[in-house]
Structure 1
């Protein structure tokens, strides 16, 4: 039986020091149990179920409440009844139809702004961290400017001077919502850039865009998802706030315009709670569900939270046995 030659034997045969082959460090990929952890997490399951329910209601709004939701279908200020499950407004419009159709606009704006703001933040953060020097200084300066300018006054000014419409709302919310995520992602990307597998990829001659997308970005999956969920929550709330102030397109049905017309028609003063509660509850429910998913992501990816959760379960079991 033959044995593999050792390094000392190779040195003796060649007469010179043999240099062992340099192996590339293994790339640290995200934990494969990340998706499985989310699927088995109760918070994530509950949050995803609520969000999917509202998305389904928004998609089925033309079927559940056909026709123009702003048309007059009943008596003025009618309380919830069998004919109108959520009552009617001061104009005689069905509140259920307004709520269902309003979900289409609010959810569309929320997820669109969340995706665009996250993509812009990821691009700026990765480029700033990877290229450094002049690129980092310029992008950091732009990011700091958007962070220092108060977001609410900027929202009001842009929405007041730009033509009203869904595109304007999306543009304004993206411009005012990407800077915070870019700063957080830049810090995370700087930490990952210092790892050995990134240096090995640079030495091997990989292109910068491939290193950012294939090496650095996969290791930021959890923080990117958290950023996305936070941007969606902020966009839904910001759109509702703008439209409640009358700075959006009040001719379009959304949860924000429903609250705007409820305030103008004195629903709170007259005690017509059924006019503004459904839209307000929908905004709060979607935001709470997305926050639950965000907390579940932290719980799955953060070992400390998992240890605290496991310790709590162990303590409850011990108390039950006692």
Structure 2
């Protein structure tokens, strides 16, 4: 994950212009072009580094937006309760009922692409509901703890109780939901781009696959055009999934004890 992040952050500064056209059309990897070229002679390594930055940016921004909204709706609603919680829960359930990817496809098709920002907002609109349900349930459980009751009795304001007493105890859950949102965002953006519904102003792994599919790279045998972005996408999702599993072990004491027993048996 660190290597992919470095490729996205530093790679575009070292690989030159990804949109520069040359006469070397559909060349396989060589010393001049380490990952070959496209049908218009563009360097695939330069395009891949810029696409890595775009996909990672989409994942992080969508993850941050979805996590922030889920905290505001789930944690605040779960703590306050009453009509506020019922209203938030109703809106969340409505969003959960509609399948996320088809809804994102419909919205993106209606907006006709619109650039990377619109793609981020579309994915964020369909991502926040699932983590909201989890955080709401956790907040409703934590608000009954003795230290929260003591904070209420001492006259602390509600916002301080949420920020100081409840939210720090939910950080492992928040981190796990953030990682899940990043994975979902990257895969959803790739799906929208592959269908031609994402904004094509910026390169991402999905847009590289879209261009490769349109140029019939598979039929032409230009494996260097579609395997690197697909492989990076798979490694990125796998790495985040492993991080999520590690966070689950931190959250769940039963998983921690099972891991210790496996290590002891070895």
TM-score, L = length of structure 2: 0.96
Match of 1:36 in 2: none
Matches of 1:73 and 1:281, distance apart in 2: 26
Give, in angstroms, the shift of residue 52 of structure 1: 2.0
8 A Cα contact 1:117 1:177, kept in partner: yes
Q: 1:225-247 CA deviation, whole Å, 9 max, x = no partner?
A: 00000000110111111111111
Match of 1:81 among 24, 30, 42: 30
Matches of 2:3 and 2:208, distance apart in 1: 20
SS of 1:60's equivalent in the other structure is helix
8 A Cα contact 2:22 2:40, kept in partner: no
Give, in angstroms, the shift of residue 109 of structure 1: 1.0
1:132 aligns with 2:115: no
Match of 1:120 among 58, 63, 69: 69
8 A Cα contact 2:172 2:250, kept in partner: no
Match of 1:143 in 2: 92
TM-score, L = length of structure 1: 0.80
Match of 1:200 in 2: 150
1:260 aligns with 2:210: yes
1:90 aligns with 2:39: yes
SS of 2:198's equivalent in the other structure is coil
Match of 1:313 in 2: 263
Give, in angstroms, the shift of residue 73 of structure 1: 3.3
Match of 1:103 among 21, 43, 52: 52
SS of 1:246's equivalent in the other structure is coil
Give, in angstroms, the shift of residue 74 of structure 1: 4.7
Q: 1:242-296 CA deviation, whole Å, 9 max, x = no partner?
A: 1111111224211111000000000112221110011111111111111111111
Matches of 2:96 and 2:194, distance apart in 1: 24
SS of 2:16's equivalent in the other structure is coil
Matches of 2:265 and 2:186, distance apart in 1: 39
- Range moving further from structure 2, 304-313 or 221-230: 304-313
Matches of 1:184 and 1:302, distance apart in 2: 14
Point out where structure 2 has 5 or more consecutive residues left out of the alignment.
none
Point out where structure 1 has 5 or more consecutive residues left out of the alignment.
1-50, 317-322
State how 1:219-238 maps to structure 2 within 5 Å: 219-238=169-188
Instruction: Note the aligned Cα RMSD (angstroms).
Output: 1.3
Matches of 1:313 and 1:254, distance apart in 2: 40
Q: 1:101-155 CA deviation, whole Å, 9 max, x = no partner?
A: 1111111111000011001001101121111111111111100010001212210
